[in-house]
Chain A
């Protein structure tokens, strides 16, 4: 029943034997000990588990680890490089785009894709871009500020 999979996560290759039913989010959190990706609802609604799979945001609670076989994944742990925060992370920090922080890793991954697709989004485009990510703390206003600030920082970089 078990299957060997090979994945590249945050630039590092892993080979692991997994049960076919193992969800990608549990694989990341428990097999690879990358606990920055969170589980909020188990039904794809909240987006706390968002990661990038082959550069596109997916909800890791709703796909199996075996579906990621041979693929490349970026999680929140892969965003900062050599201790330097990613522009989106820095913007969330500067703009107070988080409170309890539980939704934040998934939110940041969604914003990363949003800004890759649209470098200069309007407020409404930002709202649409984070449609799949729920935050119960911030009322989203500071998150929208953070996305605008990140877009500006990226453009200036």
Chain B
């Protein structure tokens, strides 16, 4: 059944299924993405990339390319040496940051490493010119596998370092060795979490425009972080920051991949200033899969200790993270989030975790939807299931046994996080009831009796969201909002977040409409332009409403406070007697009432200015959260595996998520659905594959599979609503929940289905081929 959506002729908007204000431009083809931007005299850039995973560059011949009619310039690494390195925000003591230039100099370190840039009058000529450039490479030895890279005597990715250790990170609490000694049962698993390509449907792209007269550089970039990008460009280009403007136009998906500072952004700026011409560069899909930082890339070893009653006592984790040849912005930080979130929703008493980042001759890895939390949740939920099997306990029971009680919040985890609020059992019960867990287990008995492979998979997950308190985030974790009320009563909101599909133009308009008692159509939400919005951090880490919305909430409070003063003065009553409700200022001491628009006009005309009050009705506020917020939930999946083909069919998928207070349930469901798709993709089809020579084997969308409509189950959503205590809205964040919760539910279901064959783990992606192989091996043994 199709859902019904309320149209925006409502009295109040928060909590309603309001359709989006963004959509008309998007569904009529009138939105402006970066490739839709055209500037007079604009030239097109293309980038030549290394076909080798490791090589010395011994010569570059550009003459033939330069001679091609329409080619305006060719740049090599030497030509752009003035541009500073691609930034990395990591700060571990032993962190090694190799010199990461925007174009390669003496060596290339991975397939796709940018080497030469060509600029021409159109994109076809630029592409032709790439074919005319001759680069002499002297291939050197390659190290592609992260575990091999860490062995003694391994080929070194960066010869200037004695080994391939990019960084290490260790955390521990409690006596974990004792917990393991005294445990009734322990178990261990080695789990691969493959590299994933983020694949936003719009690839990266930029238009750089230099205004020689004003000495102003404008960069249009498909980015999640226009403000941070502006600051970084100022540093890379050694330019005054106030002469740089970054605009994120319509952005066609990001999923973390555009929460970065990319070589091509500074490159386009440098070329635009050098040639004094606007420069457009649009990434091809092949380039995108090759070089846009892959997510995950872990080899994890997890151990768990338990008492025979199911109490979980100790946890050990070792992560080898394949970081590739270079760091991107957050490369070393992301796997540390996996360590922090390792305890999930459970009351562990002790833990020990170690993480090693390994340099390899592969493209950099970095954040991708969930960023560290899907990895942690996946390995934890796998090992908890395995322990339940060893104990002969139901996998639901072991989870209930180890949740903190609602009264224990704020709950401090063994890794030192303070979970804000939660009722984990309530969400889990709701999911179990929704899928009718008992009936599923009955069905499983029946299926097994008939020799069918039927499985039920549970994942109870928690995540750390609403990034975040500034001390815990590398570039500040606050957000900024300005509310400008116009003389006509219309409202302009300027926000530092940079939504790209999440729909905050709608959810923020809902908030403003309710706060001021005006229609949503009287509100405009402006974002993604550093010349309009003073500053902000951006959209990532499920922070848009929790942080950006909280800043807006504070600014609206200021507006109402000031407007109330005006109203009191105009009504000639004491301000304490004035109330503002449903868009009307009224006082017990006056018969006359004033609308929001009346007061807005008076603040501009100032015919009766309250003493000590300035004209105008604007407010700018910043919100700094006291902590992260911690959404949670339970995903349950039932599957049947075809023994003959290894094909898995998802029978049902239930997702009960708690993301705190909700502004728009329609948008929340959309986030969950999309998140689940990005958790299930890696579960059964996705994964970047490199061979031993560091060659990327599935570098186009002909080879790298992402879910199509027919691969997706019908997702049955529900929710509980536990307000967060760390922001005034009670919002927790929802952007990543689906991705984090879904993967382990699917994998646990398939392993459960295969368990009669003695299977207790299969790595992802669980393709029909890999499942078929497991079935064949087990049937033989």
Contacts and interface: CB of A to CB of B under 8 A. Distances in A.
Nearest to A93: B23
A92 B35 CA distance: 24
A143 B32 CA distance: 22
A89 interface: yes
A58 interface: no
A21 B124 contact: yes
Nearest to B122: A30
B709 A95 contact: no
Given A45-B702, A93-B20, A145-B3, A101 B714 contact: no
Contacts of A149: 2
Contacts of B216: none
A100 B27 contact: no
Interface stretch (B177-185, B194-202, B340-348, B395-403): B194-202
Contact of A140 (B33, B35, B255, B709): B709
Interface in B269-307: 284-286
B19 A93 contact: yes
Given A93-B23, A96-B666, A139-B674, A36 B502 contact: no
Interface stretch (B85-93, B147-155, B245-253, B377-385): B245-253
A112 interface: no
A57 interface: no
Contacts of B123: 26
A102 B29 contact: no
Contact of B28 (A89, A96, A126, A137): A89
A7 interface: no
Contacts of A19: 124
A41 B701 contact: yes
B558 to A, nearest CB: 32
Contacts of B202: 38, 40, 100, 102
A79 interface: yes
Interface string A103-129: 111001000000000000001101110
A80 B28 contact: yes
Interface string B647-672: 00000000000000000001101100
Contacts of A75: 29
Contact of B673 (A40, A131, A138, A148): A138
A139 B286 CA distance: 23
A24 interface: no
Contact of A101 (B26, B284, B669, B675): B26
A22 B200 CA distance: 25
A105 to B, nearest CB: 5
Contacts of A26: 123
B670 A142 contact: yes
A108 B29 CA distance: 10
Given A38-B252, A40-B201, A134-B708, A101 B501 contact: yes
Nearest to A129: B709
A137 B676 CA distance: 10
Interface in A5-51: 19, 21-22, 26, 29, 34-43, 45-46, 48
Instruction: Identify which of B29, B35, B36, B250 gathers the most chain A CB atoms within 10 Å of its CB.
Output: B29
A152 interface: yes
Contacts of A67: none
Contacts of A45: 700-702
A99 B674 contact: yes
A141 B673 CA distance: 7
A94 interface: yes
A130 B203 CA distance: 21
B501 A137 contact: yes
B30 interface: yes
Contact of B501 (A100, A124, A127, A131): A100
A135 interface: yes
B3 A131 contact: no
A85 B674 contact: no
Interface residues of A, number: 62
Given A43-B285, A43-B702, A100 B500 contact: yes
B677 interface: yes
B253 A136 contact: yes
A100 B707 CA distance: 17
Contacts of B252: 38, 100-102
A52 interface: no
B24 interface: yes
A102 B27 contact: no
Given A41-B700, A94-B5, A104-B26, A142 B669 contact: yes
A134 B677 CA distance: 12
Interface in B13-67: 19-20, 22-24, 26-33, 35-36
A80 B20 CA distance: 18
Contacts of B670: 96, 99, 137-138, 142
A35 B38 CA distance: 11
B601 interface: no
B36 A35 contact: yes
Interface in A46-64: 46, 48
A148 B201 contact: no
B674 A136 contact: yes
19 contacts: A21-B124, A34-B29, A35-B29, A36-B28, A40-B285, A43-B285, A96-B669, A99-B670, A100-B253, A100-B501, A101-B31, A102-B200, A127-B708, A131-B709, A135-B201, A137-B253, A138-B674, A140-B712, A146-B2
Closest 3 CB pairs of A and B: A36-B29, A102-B252, A101-B26
Given A38-B33, A139-B738, 17 more contacts: A19-B124, A43-B285, A43-B700, A89-B27, A99-B253, A100-B201, A100-B251, A101-B31, A102-B253, A104-B27, A137-B674, A139-B712, A140-B712, A141-B669, A141-B673, A141-B714, A142-B670
Interface of B: 1-3, 5, 19-20, 22-24, 26-33, 35-36, 123-124, 199-203, 250-255, 284-286, 500-503, 666-667, 669-670, 673-678, 700-702, 706-710, 712, 714-715, 738
Interface of A: 19, 21-22, 26, 29, 34-43, 45-46, 48, 75-77, 79-80, 85, 89, 92-96, 98-105, 108, 123-124, 126-128, 130-131, 134-146, 148-149, 152
